Amino acid sequence: MNAFRPALSALLLAVMLAAAPVAAAPPERVLVFTKTAKFRHDAIPVAVTTLQRLVVDEGMAADHTEDAGAFTPENLARYRVVVFASTTGDVLDETQQAALEGFVRKGGGFIGVHAAADTEYDWPWYGQLVGAYFQNHPPGLQSTQVQPERDGKPLGPRWPITDELYNYRANPRGQVRVIATVDEREYDGGTMGADHPIAWCHAFDGGRSWYTGLGHEAAVYANPHVIAHLVRGLRYAAGRADDC
């Protein structure tokens, strides 16, 4: 009878291990970064709250910081996506820049919102990551239509937007996948002509980048079209969808 005891003990242990609850994997994390060194947008608190809610709705966890010291290889390794939400000017030093480059090269996702394009003009890698640098904008808030697109063709109906509409130093089409344009015929001060991209995405340097020029005005973050737009960007940057 003693000969059966080891086998019985092993069987009981296997049953106990099979019945033990499996610890849930920790949720993927998103870092929302809003440091500004130049103009500061009044809509930043609303942008942060909105982004945090969308992240949680996607089953992820969100942290917010304005501390550039968060940009270390060890800390960024905790995150799936980094969001620059209306950052402006020179916000990272060279060591912190290297940490973000390493994060993206290891497959990390990046989202740029509005003034993310008005950031880090002396860091060429960042300009390529975002896709285009801010040039200027027409005075005040103006209204136009956003045309979603895929591969240069309209994707669904246009939708209205009232916001600060950026002109960019160069048209990023050809370097990125443009996903939305705005119609300059419907407002004053556009300088990019008939093809004015306002949102785009691309695979870049081992990771994924998604950018939208919308987001100057707090009311924009209550627009259901903008919410859907941001959700698609989040899913793309996090590697949960290939269609951005």
- % of the chain exceeding 70 in pLDDT: 91
Per the domain annotation, does 168 fall within a domain? no
Q: Where are the beta strands (DSSP E) in the chain?
A: 29-33, 61-65, 81-85, 109-113, 134-136, 142-150, 153-154, 159-163, 167-168, 177-182, 197-204, 207-212
Confidence of residue 21 (pLDDT cuts 50, 70, 90): low
Residues 101-120, mean pLDDT to the nearest whole number: 98
Q: Which two tokens stand for residue 90?
A: 């020179």
- In 3D, which of 90, 87, 95, 52 has the Cα closest to residue 66? 87
On the 0-12 / 13-18 / 19+ scale of CB atoms within 10 A, 2 is exposed
- In 3D, which of 84, 184, 195 has the Cα closest to residue 149? 195
CATH at residue 207: 3.40.50.880
Query: To which residue do tokens 């407002």 refer?
Result: 187
* Domain enclosing residue 70, as ranges: 26-134+199-237
Averaged pLDDT score across all residues of the chain: 93
Instruction: Please give the DSSP secondary-structure letter assigned to residue 109.
Output: E
Q: Please count the structural domains in the chain.
A: 1
Query: Under 8 Å CB-to-CB from 39, ≥6 apart: which residues?
Result: 88, 115, 118
pLDDT value at 160 more than 70: yes
How does pLDDT run across 163-186, given as a tens digit for each residue? 999 999 999 999 999 999 999 999
Per the domain annotation, does 167 fall within a domain? no
Per the domain annotation, does 106 fall within a domain? yes
Per the domain annotation, does 87 fall within a domain? yes
Per the domain annotation, does 181 fall within a domain? no
Per the domain annotation, does 114 fall within a domain? yes
Could you report how far apart the first and last alpha carbons of the chain are, in Å?
Answer: 65
pLDDT of residue 22: 55
Which of 25 and 188 is assigned the larger pLDDT? 188
How does pLDDT run across 113-147, given as a tens digit for each residue? 999 999 999 999 999 999 999 999 999 999 999 99
pLDDT value at 8 more than 60: no
Per the domain annotation, does 13 fall within a domain? no
Per the domain annotation, does 179 fall within a domain? no
Residues 146-166, mean pLDDT to the nearest whole number: 97
195 phi, psi to nearest 5 deg:
-115, 95
